[in-house]
Structure 1
Amino acid sequence: MKERELRRSMAVLPIGTVMKLTDLSARQIRYYEEQHLIFPERNEGNRRMYSLNDIDVLFEISDLLSEGNNVAEIKQIFAKQKVKKARSLSINEVHAALEHEFTQQGRFNNLSDSSHFSQPRM
């Protein structure tokens, strides 16, 4: 995991701060957790702690609700995004494997020749 993603996934924000940042009530935030749309961590005192990634999801939920989607539709949207992301990771893994294989076979003379495999085509 990249350092930036690691920092964004660190659960360090209490619910009060999240409420101020997102303009959502504690009840709304807890409801989205109950609906398995967000997954805050718990600290030693069993208090919810949120990451910047959690806040991004809450903003996305708010945007989708304001567009007229309901929670069931948002769950479907998130499920589709998850599948798409998994496919994208699979494509990246295929490209990495091909690059590795071609490098081992001596088809790439230097690292710059392998650049066509660094970005997947979609």
Structure 2
Amino acid sequence: MRRWILATSLALYACVAHADGLQNKWRLEVSGNAETAGQIVVLVSPEKGEPIRATTQVAAGRAENDVARDISTALQMVASNRYSVETDDGEDVLVKKREGQRDFAVTVVENTVQGVTVDIDAE
């Protein structure tokens, strides 16, 4: 129950925190190698509607390019019908809205992988 409350609170925070930061394309820049195993949780929050949560399990020792591919794969699995997701420059993940979709925000709501950071920039 606590996890559900925490997840819901984080989702609501992400929607409120990015209410003015909606874009049609985002770049997630992955830096560093995974010193420990863990997970990275990305929330894609459209202007209206339910946020989409993508959870990436990361093994210890993964290089930043591998982590970026892992995040890309996790996002594709849950969001490919609304968003185009691809890797760029090896360590970056691009998320773009598909035609007819609303602008959206992207937030990393959890990162338990030591040595890896994910910075998010509007494109």
More helix by share: 1
Is the structural similarity TM-score above 0.5?
A: no
- The TM-score bracket by the shorter chain reads under 0.3
TM-score normalised to structure 2 length: 0.25
Asked which structure has the greater RCO (Cα within 8 Å, sep 6+), the reply is 2
More strand by share: 2
